[in-house]
Amino acid sequence: MKLMGLRAIQKKKFKKTTDSNHNLPLKENLLNRNFDVSKPNKVWASDITYIPTAEGWLYLAVVIDLYSRKVVGWSINKRWIVNPF
């Protein structure tokens, strides 16, 4: 039986985006996975992610206060900007 116009959608292969095998300096782990904070504005955490859109990738960075778990700030941009500090 021949089905006209139908074809399988193949999944994209997994692409590794993190290279941990490098000689670059690493920052000290000051938090050491201690996420229980007793006062607000003492410990903030952040993360980044990228979001595919029809116009290209968007990069989202978010900072939260670990005490309240509320967002302190966020930024979205169409290109990743590396902090020079």
pLDDT category, 15, cuts 50, 70, 90? confident
Q: How far is Cα 2 from Cα 12, in angstroms, rounded to an integer? A: 26
Residue 63 is given by DSSP the state: E
The pair of three-digit structure tokens given for residue 13, joined into one six-digit string: 């292969």
56-18-27 Cα angle (round to 5): 115
Q: How far is Cα 61 from Cα 83, in angstroms, rounded to an integer? A: 12
Answer whether 56's CB lies under 8 Å from 77's CB: no
Residue 30 is given by DSSP the state: S
pTM of the model: 0.61
List pLDDT tens digits, range 26-85: 888 888 888 899 999 999 999 999 888 888 889 999 999 999 999 999 999 887 666 554
Is residue 1 predicted with pLDDT exceeding 60? no
